[in-house]
Amino acid sequence: MRVTSIDEAACALRAGEAVVFPTDTVCGLGVAALHASGPEALYRLKGRPAGKPIAWLVEGPEALDAFGRDVPDWAHTLAARFWPGPLTLVVRASDQVPSAYRGAAGTVGLRMPAAPTALRLMQAAESPLCVTSANRAGALDVPDLAQVDPALAAQVACAVDDRQVASSGQASTVIDCTGPRPVMLRAGAIDALRVNAALAGITEVDEAAEPCHESREAAAPVAEGAPGEPCEPGDSPGVGAAVVSAAVGTAAGVDADVDADADAAAVGDAAAIADDVVVVPLTFPSADGCSQVAARLWVPDVAVADPDAGAAGLAFAPGSVRGVVQLVHGMCEHMGRYDHVARHLVGEGFVVCGMDLIGHGLTAKGPDDLGVVDARMGAAAIVADIDRMRARARAIVGAEVPFFLFAHSMGSFATRCYLERHADGVRAVVLSGTGHPARALTAAGGILARAVAAHRGPAHRSGLLDGLAAGGYAKAFPHEGSPYAWISSLPDQVAAYEADPLCGFTFSASAYVALANLVEGATMASGPAFEAVSPAASSVAAAEDAACASVRPPVLLVSGDRDPVGQCGAGVRRAADHLRSRGHDQVRMILYPGARHEVHHDAARDLLYADVAAFLKEQC
């Protein structure tokens, strides 16, 4: 790749050729929008399918009127406040935007970068730049010229370097400006609070809109050891109404598949990620000896070499995967509810795997088997199945790829047990919605569950057990009209859970025995005491216990400060202390104000995603 001057690069751009150059986010690959006939060269260089519109970098706020039409005043206010900087504004394209650069809905994304080199290139080429990240499709973004793929570098006209341009690596915030009110399509470097502050008194608050996540400035996660607010029954602090509404997907009239700008922040990113992800079904026999585990793998579409071959048709280019993240779901739900979590992580460069636990989802043989787990070996089988899922995913993606766990609720307790025997090779762990109940309470619950299973049968569904366990959490929010209000502060998410036929079932007595064993195992000073899956496995488990005694990966605990499972933060702090006592010397904790049990289904979801992605990337 020939590194040249601004003037020579501008000549290449005016001739319609592609150039690599630094931006304020990542290394960019672009063409001059007014000189190149279209973005086809970028598709070819990246090795990606054509058709996804690519956002433009522009010289200043005046570009909104030059390349946009019917641009609202508040969009100009945002540009005046945040340009140059990491804010992409999606507007209806004017006649000056060639049709080849427009999305299907006639829109274009515009951003003014805080990068002098990019600005000088636009001035010298006398054109905005249509820019994407300078990496092959499916590969990780690169921060500078030195890390650009040689195959890509050999095909561009030239490159411009500027050591004084520092790439942040953080995505831009993307806002749809085509409707009556701003809609945040992607939360990035500029948070919702700053956007709302810039628009204060200019637009009316859309009371019906789902609010964006609270920023750290607005409601900083409670620092570990800080005295959080008390969790009063029925006290549901609202997240302040936001001028900017958060779009889960895309707003009407905005292209769902607009590609990234130079910082790889997609316009309509949620839908763009969805289009670029393939879900591959997997199955394997459960350690319980009678169940066939239904599992799935989320991969970027570029990894699919043979669409008809399933997992055998996947091929991952060296260095294209940051790591494998295994998701472990909670009680009375299923892995399908984590699709948006998985797709977000794939968008961050990871491959994601997960399974429906025994007695859950598609692993259960039918509706009558939901919530039924073997009382004697259920806990051990769940832990063993986590290891089987891990082995299956690593066999597909590669054993050398870093491995991570992201576990929620009951899955977090199972994962804490798993770490006692299988921590070797686990790079880092995220535990969501976990807690640390009093040992006497857990022991009493286990005794009661075993008694019910013995006298009424393992498949018996006891109203008493359910009322004392999962059903008891409803008491935290008695006035909200749903027994599941404790899972999220967002009514639509609660309604979706209630409407899901694979959620909300009552655990059998045997399943409560397994749950009690998992919770006891996760919270005991000596680790889990339940039997291994089989007598033959006992010696293996003991050897693994000894081998893993000194292997304690970093842990991030995430929870809502209104989550009754974590006792509104108190139980999460005890869990952090316990993990340290078990040898984890890197334990972090974040509490999200106003969020309840499922932060990934609550108003703080985008902030959670950013925190989790940052934590995982630190460990890569």
Domain spans of the chain, in order of start: 6-206+243-269, 276-435+530-619
pLDDT recorded at residue 530? 57
* Range in 43-57, 393-407, 427-441, 478-492 with the lowest mean pLDDT: 43-57
Give the tens place of pLDDT for each residue, 608-617. Answer: 999 999 999 9
The larger pLDDT score, comparing residue 120 to residue 194, is at 120
| Strand pairing category for 277-285 and 555-560 | unpaired
Q: Which residues, 6+ apart, have CB-to-CB distance to 463 below 8 Å?
A: 471, 506
Do 6-206+243-269 and 276-435+530-619 have matching folds?
A: no
Distance CA 196, CA 258 (A): 24
pTM as predicted? 0.59
Higher pLDDT pick, 395 / 146: 395
Whether residue 259 is predicted with pLDDT greater than 70 in this model: the reply is: no
Distance, CA of 249 to chain centre? 14
Q: What is the secondary structure of 32-66 as a DSSP string? A: ETTTSS-THHHHHHHT--S---B-EE-SSTTHHHH
> Domain 276-435+530-619 carries which CATH code?
3.40.50.1820
Residue 323 has pLDDT above 70, yes or no: yes
Peptide bond into 39 cis (omega under 30): no
pLDDT at 438 over 90: no
Average model confidence (pLDDT) across the chain: 82
Which pLDDT score, from 0 to 100, does residue 346 have?
Answer: 94
Q: 6-206+243-269, which class in CATH?
A: alpha beta
Stretch 242-268: mean pLDDT, rounded?
35
Nearest Cα to Cα of residue 17 among 25, 113, 27, 1: 1
Average pLDDT over residues 282-306: 91
Q: What confidence tens digit (pLDDT) does each residue in 595-606 have? A: 999 999 999 999
Quote the pLDDT of residue 549: 52
Q: Which residue has the higher pLDDT, 533 or 61?
A: 61
Q: Which residues pair with 56 in a beta bridge?
A: 110, 130
How far is Cα 275 from Cα 298, in angstroms, rounded to an integer?
A: 12
pLDDT at position 272: 31
* pLDDT greater than 90 at residue 575: yes
Q: What is the mean pLDDT of residues 419-425?
A: 92
Asked if 71 and 96 touch (Cβ cutoff 8 Å), the reply is no
Percent of the chain with pLDDT over 70: 81
Q: From CA 554, how far away is CA 401, in angstroms rounded?
A: 17
